[in-house]
C-alpha cells in the first residue's frame, strides 16, 4: 500500500482520483496549495505526488523545482491542460525527474491505473543503473579469475602432449576449455583472449583430425603462450547500457503543431496510453533525443518534412535502433512509401487519417515499445556466457532467466513462459539441435522464437540450425548491439504475427481460443501463488435490436467502440477477449469478486455514456450486463468459473439488464457470503443483485 499526495485545487478532479486510489488499496491525501503539500511531505510517509499544472499559490513546474531543491527524490506525476510543448516536457522529465506526464482531460480511472503500474517501479528496492554496472564489473572480475585455472590446466595438457604424445581425452578436454572462452571473452571486453582461444581451438581440432602430424603438434605451444599472455590483460571497465527505458510511455510526434495531424495524433495517443510530445521540426526532435530523452515510439508526418529533414530523421532512428516508428502522409506520394521502408515503419497511415486505424496502430506500437519487459530464457552450459548474456539483457530492461542444464527445460518453460529462447548448440546430453526440433513438435512451443548460439562458424552448422527450426543464428562471441537487435527483431515479428492470429479485427480484443489459453495460465499462476482471481462475462444489452433497428454497420460501431474502451481500461495484466458475438470476457488476476465487480460497474457507466450514430445519423446509447465469478469460491477451473459467471449474467438479464451480478447463481454448493447482497450505483445500475433473482 502506498500513500499518494494529490496536489490539486479542483475537487471535481482530486476527489474522484482519491476514491480510485482507495479502491486500489492505497491512501490518498488531497492538498489544495503548494505550501500545504510541502508541509505534508516534510511530515514524511508520502510515496508519490500527483501535481496539477496550475495551483493557487504557484504553478506545478515551479513547485516540483522547489521539491527537488529540497533534495527530495519522491516520484512525481504531472497533470495539466497545457505544458504540451517539447521544452516543457524536457524540463519535467529530464531536469525535474517527473515519472509520468498526463494531459487533461483524463479519466480518474485511467490515471489511477497508469499510476498503479508505476508504483512497483518506484519502490526503494528497485534496481538502479549503478548497481547493474557494479554487477557487470563483478562478472568481469569473476571471468578474469576463472582464466587462471584454465591456463594452468591447458599448460598441463600441452606439457603432456609434448612429452607423451597425442592422448585424445586430454586434447578433447583442452578443446572444451578453450571453446567456452572463445565464445565469451570478447563479450567481456577481452578480444585478445577470445582471438587467442579461437586460434588454439582451431589448432586442437586440426590435430584431432590427424593426431600423428608432428607439424600440427609443434604449433600448439606457441598458440598456448599467446593465449596465456592475453589472459593476463586487465579487466575492462563496464560498458554503459545501450538504452534506458523510462516508465513513461512517450510518443514523440514530428508534425506541424498548427496542422491537423498533430492534435489528432495527440488525442489518440492519450486515449491509447501514451504521453504525446509534439515537435515542430526534425531538428527539434533530434535535439530532444540527443539530449538524452528516448521516446517509447515515434510518429512522423512525412508531408511536413523536406528531403534534408527526412535524412535527419533517418539518421536519428538508425542511432536509436528498435524504436517503433509510425508514419503518415499522402498515399499517392511514392517517396513517402520509400521513406517508410527505409525508416522501418510499423505502419504507414494514409491521409486523411482514420481515427480507428490510427488507434489500432498506436496500440500495436505501444505493445512493441514494451518489448523490453519480455521474458527471455537463456539455455547454455557455459556459466560465463550465461552470466554475461543475462547481464546484458537485464541492463537493457529484459526479464532474463538463465538455465545451465536441459534436464528440467520443459518445467522451466511452463513456469517462465518466455517470449524468446536463446539456445546453445553444443549442450551435454541433448544437443541444441534436438531441443529445437522437439520444441517445433510441441503444440505449446512450436511458435516460440529461438536464437541458437555457438562458437562454431561453419556453413554446415548454420544450415543444420535452420533445418532444426531455429529462427536465427548468433556466433559467439557476440556484440551487445547485435544480440539486442536480433532479439528485438524476433520479438517484434512474433508479436505482430501473434497479433494478427489472436486478435479480433473489429474490437481489437483477444479471440476466444487465445483468451482461453491465457486465462488458464492466469488461473494456474493464481492457484500456485494463492492470489485471488475473478472472471467476468459481459453481454451488450438488446444488441439484436441495434442490428435490426439501427443497421448492422451501427452494430459494428457499438462493438468496435466497446472494444476500444475496454482496451483502454483496467490494468495491463488483465485479460480482455471477445467471447463470441456481442459477448465479452475479462480476467482480473489479483482481484477479489467485490473489487472486480466495482471496477466493471464503473466501466459500465463509462460505456453507457458513449454516443453512437446509426446509418441515418441518429444518435443512440447502449448498455451491458455482466456476471462475475471468483476463483476458489466459485470453482477451481476455467470451466467452473465460466459456468458461474454465465449463470450470473443470465440473472443480470432477468433482473432488468444494465447491472453486474457477483452473487447467487453459483454452480457450487457453498453458502452465500454474509453481508448486503445489493448495492445501488448511479443511474440505477447495480453492482450486486439479490440471489433471489436467479
Provide CB contacts within 8 A for 437, sequence distance 6+: 468, 469
| Integer CA distances (angstroms), 35 to 9, 39, 42, 59, in order | 12, 6, 11, 12
C-alpha pair distances (Å), 514 with each of 85, 341, 576: 41, 31, 11
Distance between CA 672 and CA 540 in Å, rounded?
Answer: 27
692, three cell numbers = 433471489
- For 349, residues 6+ apart whose C-beta sits below 8 A from its C-beta are 326, 327, 328, 329, 357, 358, 361
Helix pair 355-369, 261-271: axis angle to 10 deg = 60
Residues with Cβ within 8 Å of 666's Cβ and at least 6 positions away in sequence, in order, are 629, 633, 634, 644, 647
Measured CA to CA in angstroms, residue 133 lies from 123, 237, 396, 479, 484 at distances of 20, 9, 11, 17, 18
SS3 (DSSP) at 556:
helix
Give start and end residues of each alpha helix (H) in 237-319: 261-271, 282-290, 307-319
* Helix-helix angle 60-69:34-43, to 10 degrees: 30
- The CA-CA-CA angle for residues 673, 674, 680, to 5°, reads 95
- Give the integer Cα–Cα distance in Å for 290 and 305: 19
What are the Cα distances from residue 324, in Å, to 4, 251, 275, 298?
A: 33, 10, 15, 6
Q: Is 582 a catalytic residue?
A: yes
Q: List C-alpha distances in Å: 634 to 441, 584, 625, 667, 694.
A: 36, 19, 19, 7, 16
Q: Show the DSSP H helices in 210-243 as ranges.
A: 214-230
Identified catalytic residue from 582, 583, 606, 619 = 582
Q: Is 273 left (phi over 0), alpha (psi -120 to 50) or beta?
A: left
Taking the C-alpha atoms of residue 32 and residue 659, their distance in angstroms, rounded to an integer, is 36
The Cα 300–Cα 285 span in angstroms is 10
Contact between 627 and 648 under an 8 Å Cβ cutoff? The reply is: yes
* Angle of CA points 157, 159, 163, to nearest 5°: 120
Query: Residue 618: CB partners within 8 Å, gap ≥ 6?
Result: 550
Residue for grid cell 546430453: 429
Tell me the torsion sign for CA atoms 674, 680, 681, 687: positive
User: By the 8 A CB rule, do 537 and 649 touch?
Assistant: yes
Distance between CA atoms of residues 607 and 540, nearest Å: 10
Grid cell 459467471 — which residue? 645
Q: Cα angle at 451 between 449 and 457, to 5 degrees? A: 155
Residues annotated as catalytic are: 582
Amino acid at each position: 500500500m502506498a500513500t499518494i499526495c494529490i496536489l490539486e485545487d479542483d475537487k471535481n478532479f482530486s476527489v474522484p482520483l482519491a476514491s480510485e486510489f482507495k479502491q486500489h488499496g492505497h491512501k490518498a491525501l488531497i492538498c489544495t496549495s503548494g505550501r500545504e503539500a510541502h508541509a505534508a511531505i516534510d511530515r514524511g510517509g508520502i510515496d508519490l505526488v500527483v501535481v496539477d499544472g496550475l495551483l493557487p499559490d504557484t504553478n506545478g513546474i515551479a513547485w516540483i523545482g522547489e521539491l527537488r531543491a529540497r533534495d527530495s527524490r519522491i516520484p512525481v506525476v504531472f497533470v495539466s491542460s497545457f505544458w504540451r510543448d517539447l521544452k516543457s516536457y524536457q524540463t519535467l522529465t529530464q531536469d525535474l525527474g517527473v515519472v509520468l506526464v498526463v494531459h487533461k482531460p483524463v479519466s480518474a480511472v485511467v490515471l489511477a491505473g497508469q499510476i498503479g503500474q508505476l508504483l512497483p517501479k518506484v519502490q526503494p528496492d528497485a534496481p538502479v543503473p549503478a548497481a547493474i554496472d557494479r554487477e557487470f564489473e563483478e562478472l568481469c572480475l569473476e571471468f578474469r579469475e576463472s582464466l587462471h585455472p584454465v591456463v594452468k590446466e591447458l599448460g598441463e595438457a600441452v606439457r603432456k602432449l609434448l612429452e607423451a604424445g597425442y592422448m585424445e581425452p586430454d586434447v578433447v578436454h583442452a578443446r572444451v576449455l578453450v571453446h567456452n572462452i572463445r565464445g565469451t571473452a570478447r563479450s567481456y571486453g577481452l578480444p585478445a583472449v577470445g582471438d587467442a582461444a579461437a586460434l588454439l581451438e582451431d589448432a586442437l581440432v586440426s590435430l584431432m583430425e590427424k593426431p600423428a602430424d608432428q607439424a600440427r603438434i609443434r604449433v600448439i605451444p606457441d598458440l598456448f603462450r599467446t593465449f596465456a599472455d592475453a589472459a593476463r590483460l586487465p579487466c575492462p571497465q563496464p560498458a554503459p547500457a545501450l538504452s534506458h527505458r523510462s516508465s513513461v510511455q512517450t510518443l514523440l510526434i514530428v508534425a506541424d503543431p498548427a496542422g491537423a495531424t498533430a492534435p489528432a495524433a495527440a488525442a489518440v495517443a492519450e486515449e491509447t496510453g501514451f504521453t504525446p510530445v509534439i515537435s515542430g521540426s526534425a531538428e527539434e526532435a533530434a535535439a530532444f533525443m540527443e539530449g538524452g530523452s528516448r521516446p517509447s515510439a515515434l510518429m512522423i508526418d512525412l508531408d511536413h518534412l523536406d528531403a534534408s529533414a527526412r535524412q535527419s530523421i533517418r539518421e536519428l532512428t538508425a542511432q536509436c535502433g528498435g524504436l517503433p516508428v509510425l508514419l503518415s502522409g499522402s498515399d499517392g506520394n511514392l517517396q513517402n512509401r520509400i521513406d517508410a521502408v527505409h525508416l522501418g515503419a510499423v505502419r504507414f497511415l494514409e491521409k486523411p487519417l482514420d481515427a480507428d486505424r490510427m488507434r489500432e496502430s498506436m496500440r500495436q506500437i505501444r505493445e512493441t515499445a514494451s518489448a523490453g519487459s519480455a521474458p527471455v530464457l537463456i539455455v547454455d552450459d557455459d556459466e560465463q556466457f550465461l552470466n554475461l548474456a543475462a547481464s546484458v539483457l537485464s541492463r537493457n530492461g529484459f526479464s532474463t532467466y538463465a538455465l545451465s542444464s536441459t534436464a528440467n527445460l520443459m518445467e522451466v518453460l511452463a513456469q517462465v513462459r518466455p517470449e524468446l529462447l536463446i539456445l546453445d548448440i553444443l549442450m551435454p546430453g541433448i544437443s541444441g539441435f534436438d531441443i529445437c526440433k522437439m520444441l517445433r513438435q510441441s503444440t505449446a512451443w512450436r511458435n516460440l522464437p529461438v536464437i541458437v548460439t555457438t562458437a562454431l562458424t561453419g556453413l554446415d552448422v548454420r544450415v543444420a540450425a535452420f533445418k532444426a527450426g531455429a529462427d536465427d543464428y548468433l556466433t559467439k562471441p557476440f556484440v551487445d548491439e547485435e544480440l539486442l537487435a536480433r532479439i528485438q527483431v524476433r520479438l517484434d515479428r512474433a508479436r505482430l504475427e501473434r497479433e494478427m492470429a489472436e486478435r479480433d479485427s473489429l474490437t481489437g480484443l483477444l479471440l476466444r481460443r487465445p483468451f482461453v489459453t491465457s486465462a488458464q495460465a492466469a488461473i494456474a499462476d493464481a492457484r500456485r501463488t494463492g492470489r485471488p482471481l475473478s472472471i467476468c462475462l459481459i453481454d451488450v444489452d438488446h444488441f439484436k435490436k441495434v442490428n435490426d433497428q439501427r443497421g448492422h454497420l451501427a452494430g459494428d460501431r457499438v462493438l468496435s467502440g466497446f472494444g476500444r474502451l475496454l482496451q483502454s481500461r483496467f490494468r495491463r495484466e488483465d485479460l480482455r477477449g471477445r467471447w463470441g458475438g456481442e459477448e465479452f470476457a475479462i480476467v482480473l488476476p489479483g482481484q477479489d469478486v467485490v473489487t472486480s465487480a466495482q471496477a466493471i460497474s464503473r466501466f459500465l457507466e463509462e460505456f453507457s455514456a458513449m454516443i453512437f450514430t446509426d446509418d441515418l445519423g441518429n444518435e443512440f446509447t447502449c448498455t451491458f450486463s455482466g456476471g462475475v465469478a471468483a476463483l476458489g469460491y466459485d470453482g477451481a477451473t476455467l470451466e467452473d468459473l465460466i459456468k458461474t459467471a454465465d449463470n450470473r449474467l443470465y440473472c443480470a438479464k432477468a433482473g432488468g439488464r444494465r447491472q453486474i451480478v457477483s452473487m447467487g447463481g453459483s454452480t457450487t454448493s457453498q453458502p452465500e457470503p454474509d453481508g448486503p447482497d445489493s448495492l445501488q450505483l448511479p443511474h440505477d445500475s447495480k453492482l450486486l443483485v439479490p440471489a433471489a433473482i436467479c
